[in-house]
A and B are shown apart, each in its own frame.
Chain A
Amino acid sequence: MKTNLNVPQSQTVQAFYLFFIVHTIQIGAGLMGVPRILFLDAQADAWISVAIAGVYLHFIAWIMIKILRGYENADILGIQTDLFGKFVGKTLGIFYLLYIFLILLSVIKNYIEVVQVFIFPEIPIWLMSLFLLSLMVYSVTGGFRVVVGTSFLFFLLTIWLVLTISKPITYMDWGHFTPILQTSWTDILKGAQRTAYTVLGMEILFFVYPYIKNKKNIALPVHLGLAMTTFLVMLVTVVSIGYFSPDHLRETVWATLSLFKIISFPVIERFDFIAVALWMMVVLPNIVLLCWMLVHSLKRLFHLKEKHSIFGVSVLLFIGALLVEYRMDIDLLTEWTARVGFWLVFVYPIFLFLYMKLVHRWRRRRRA
């Protein structure tokens, strides 16, 4: 496997789109339930956890960009084989593959679960997964530019949902936040760690880097995208804590979606139905980008044909979606994904960075 990729000009996109890529892969299934998960650990100070997590995100992004800048046009798979040798590099690559597959599955499962709870209790799982997977296949077979376009357009099509939050804001009880810092720092940090599942996906930077046209300008859109993610997570967390009573929030699994329950328009009485249905458009870029990562890695690692791996991946996902049945299993899946993701996305890059610096210095010295 070559470390650096040769990407034809027609497949590359402007760095500007990294904002949407990074942002839309992070926002998705996780956002639906993040307020409660944070609240369980960090209580009313969950917003501090989000802030900490947000700052940490920027730090990791900075490290990631540093790693990528160490090479000309490489992705993580190439870098790993370069640093650790062929065998270890490939093994680590497979690890990434499994992890991406896990998030992909958990995203699909979580969204289906939400649709079943909020709109159609009777809708069969196989049908919903078929919907999502067919859209995914349709988009990914279009190539990288269509994938990026999906992420970009669906962002534009759904971002206005943020504005509807203004109604729950009027119902907020700011007293729920005071006095601040009642929770211990360890709990707040635990909360920050729990944010991981929501903001997973920024590792896509490791994969799309070779496909960016103007690589010099990637820092700004990446950091803006992360800031946008942090802002959204912060927004729903703060509004949820203010809107729900502490005990109520503990019981509300999808707090973000429950916020939509009090929004109504003159022509639509219950906006939550629309919001949950539209959430498919929020989840879709997620799925599409993750699937692209899978397909891309499969091609890099095993030289699989894209068409074959897309269909292979979707069949596996379909089977996976059917096998995981109980709510408990979904939670378990989500938790495992979050745990693996935390180490792989938020800790591993630091080691990788240090190791890369070491190896590069050693090589330079040897050359000299």
Chain B
Amino acid sequence: MERRIPVKKELYMESLQKHFRNSPDLVNKTFTFNRQTIVIHFINYQVNKDQLERDLLPPLTNAKKPWTMESLKNAIPLSSSEEIKDFSSLARELIHGGVSVYIVGYEEVVVFTLPKQDHRALNRAETESLVFGPQIAFTESLMTNLNVVRWRLDTDDLTVEKFLVGERIQSEVRVIYLKSLANEENVQTMKQRIEDIVIDEIEDSTVLNQLIEDSSSTVFPQLITTELPDRFCNSIAKGRVGVLVDKSPTAIIGPMTLFNFFESTEDTYMRWNIGTFIRMLRFLSMVISIVLTPMYVAALTYHYEIIPSSLLVSLGQSRATVPFPPVLEALLLEILIELLREAGARLPTKVGQTMGIVGGIVLGQAAVQAGFTSNILVIIIALSALASFTAPSYMMGSAIRIIRFPMIILAGAWGLIGIVFALSFLVIHLLRQKSLGRPYLAPIYPFEASALRGTIFRLPFQKNAKRPSYVMPKDESRFDKKRAGTKRDRSSP
């Protein structure tokens, strides 16, 4: 049932006032000239006043002859003019920064959109900090973000589709992909999942992300959320599907595999050998982070046999004063580290640094001296915490830190058997995961040798002429490998 716009002036004004519950911010102005009465409405803070007074009011009031709907739409030099018959859409337009122009006697209203939006300018990335490479991050404004994406992906192949999500409060969502490259099934899955969302409102793109992910019970993220336009655009250029949400500075990309979460854009900007080394380092640090503390717990609780004789004395003596079993000791320290991290994240930057010093040095040192923990464990925990922070994706880092806890408990309960059980469980768990319906462990399983070059390693670009096929791009070839490999330098005279 559409409510029509009342024709009578008093009724019109009254019903608008009523709709906005006599909001003091609803400004109305009535002009009468050329034997015509015109009422304009707008919401005080939603409208760009400068533009209103410069571009709309002067031509409106200086007219020589009476306005008609047609002339109103065409003679005012503003691009966004819309004729509205429906009362509720009129109200919505007003909220979005519209200025309604009502000519008494007409059944329609013309709305000019002169929105005023205050948001921050493009800034440096905060959560995904880089040493070098492009530094800008997405902002909260969808239009700005789209602008950046369009600017980076300079092709008319770029397709942007609009969705509205949220039943009570709606958010604008854009699905972005390259028409000629992105796999249709992937795009369909992504669109379908966004359309299928039933929720009153989404707070942020990260919420949307959780709503469209394949499995919500796992700790592993299945779609990458990033605030880096370069990462977003590079992924789209590989044939993936991106999602931008209004009011959110994080973009979503899919399908992703586990190994993509350990890629940083920086690997791409670095020389290939150094990039590969750093990427390997990250994989190694993931293993260290997961296995090191449980191994300590297992060795000291059950398998004293596997401790090398040279370490035995120092390990034993450091443990001698500790009143708790190793599991508890390790859990306590792990929680301590988590506390530090959390406190550091909540506090303002300057205080946060002090926090690190207090926690790291004072607490650690005091804990050891008080016989609260063994100093070797402090090293191990610090090392594995450090290792977990090397994951370029904050989500993945958190996932790894979380799975350490059950690992430690299992190691404390059944030693090496517990650890191997946990690792096996983890592997099978990862095998079962999917990202947008695509296997999560690609290119290891399903195995694809050529994709290892760009995913696990970072081989020279000339060698990496194929797009990874687990993304299922429509065109796997990036460039002609043969031509790319030759440099036709001018020979010296």
B297-323 CB contacts (< 8 Å) to partner A: 302-303, 305-309, 311
Whether B244 is near chain A, meaning CB under 8 Å from some CB there, is: no
Whether the Cβ atoms of A120 and B415 lie closer than 8 Å is yes
Whether A169 is near chain B, meaning CB under 8 Å from some CB there, is: no
Whether B66 is near chain A, meaning CB under 8 Å from some CB there, is: no
- Contact pattern, B 402-418, Cβ under 8 Å of A = 1, otherwise 0: 00000000000011110
- Contact pattern, A 276-319, Cβ under 8 Å of B = 1, otherwise 0: 01101100100000000000000000000000000000000000
Interface segment, one of B14-22, B201-209, B441-449: B441-449
Question: Given that A120-B302, A270-B305, A270-B306 are known contacts, is A150 also in contact with B431, CB under 8 Å in the complex?
Answer: yes
Hey, which chain A residues are within 8 Å of B420, CB to CB?
277-278, 280-281
Whether B427 is near chain A, meaning CB under 8 Å from some CB there, is: yes
Hey, which chain B residues are within 8 Å of A145, CB to CB?
439
Question: Given that A131-B421, A280-B421 are known contacts, is A269 also in contact with B428, CB under 8 Å in the complex?
Answer: no
Whether A221 is near chain B, meaning CB under 8 Å from some CB there, is: no
Whether A268 is near chain B, meaning CB under 8 Å from some CB there, is: yes
Whether A347 is near chain B, meaning CB under 8 Å from some CB there, is: no
Min C-beta distance of B292 to chain A, whole Å: 10
Whether the Cβ atoms of A149 and B431 lie closer than 8 Å is yes
Whether B127 is near chain A, meaning CB under 8 Å from some CB there, is: no
Min C-beta distance of A61 to chain B, whole Å: 22
Whether the Cβ atoms of A268 and B445 lie closer than 8 Å is no
Whether the Cβ atoms of A280 and B424 lie closer than 8 Å is yes
Whether B271 is near chain A, meaning CB under 8 Å from some CB there, is: no
B451-479 CB contacts (< 8 Å) to partner A: none
- In the bound assembly, the distance between CA atoms of A115 and B427 in angstroms comes to 21
Whether the Cβ atoms of A269 and B309 lie closer than 8 Å is yes
Hey, which chain B residues are within 8 Å of A127, CB to CB?
414
Residue in A closest to B310 when the chains form the complex, CB atoms: A266
Hey, which chain B residues are within 8 Å of A115, CB to CB?
417
Hey, which chain A residues are within 8 Å of B428, CB to CB?
135, 138-139, 142, 146, 150
Residue in B closest to A157 when the chains form the complex, CB atoms: B427
Categorize the interface residue count of chain A. Answer: 35 or more
Whether the Cβ atoms of A268 and B447 lie closer than 8 Å is no
DSSP majority for the A interface?
helix
Other-chain residue from A123, A135, A277, A278 in contact with B425 (beta carbon distance below 8 A): A135
Question: Given that A142-B428, A270-B306, A284-B424 are known contacts, is A152 also in contact with B415, CB under 8 Å in the complex?
Answer: no
Other-chain residue from A120, A153, A269, A284 in contact with B308 (beta carbon distance below 8 A): A269
Question: Given that A149-B441, A280-B420 are known contacts, is A142 also in contact with B431, CB under 8 Å in the complex?
Answer: yes
Question: Given that A119-B303, A142-B432 are known contacts, is A152 also in contact with B416, CB under 8 Å in the complex?
Answer: no
Hey, which chain A residues are within 8 Å of B305, CB to CB?
269-270, 273
Whether B175 is near chain A, meaning CB under 8 Å from some CB there, is: no
Question: Given that A131-B421, A273-B303 are known contacts, is A153 also in contact with B431, CB under 8 Å in the complex?
Answer: yes
Whether A359 is near chain B, meaning CB under 8 Å from some CB there, is: no
Question: Given that A273-B303, A273-B305 are known contacts, is A154 also in contact with B427, CB under 8 Å in the complex?
Answer: yes
Hey, which chain B residues are within 8 Å of A138, CB to CB?
425, 428-429, 432
Whether the Cβ atoms of B431 and A139 lie closer than 8 Å is yes
Whether B396 is near chain A, meaning CB under 8 Å from some CB there, is: no
Residue in B closest to A266 when the chains form the complex, CB atoms: B308
Min C-beta distance of B442 to chain A, whole Å: 10
Hey, which chain B residues are within 8 Å of A214, CB to CB?
none
Min C-beta distance of B153 to chain A, whole Å: 32
Interface residues in chain B, defined as those with a beta carbon under 8 Å from any beta carbon in chain A: 302-303, 305-309, 311, 414-417, 419-421, 423-425, 427-429, 431-432, 439, 441, 444-447
6 contacts between A and B (CB under 8 A): A13-B446, A149-B431, A150-B427, A273-B303, A278-B420, A280-B417
The 6 closest A-B pairs by CB, nearest first: A277-B416, A149-B431, A142-B432, A149-B445, A269-B308, A277-B420
Interface residues in chain A, defined as those with a beta carbon under 8 Å from any beta carbon in chain B: 13-14, 16, 115, 119-120, 123, 127-128, 131, 135, 138-139, 142, 145-146, 149-150, 152-154, 156-157, 264, 266-271, 273-274, 277-278, 280-281, 284
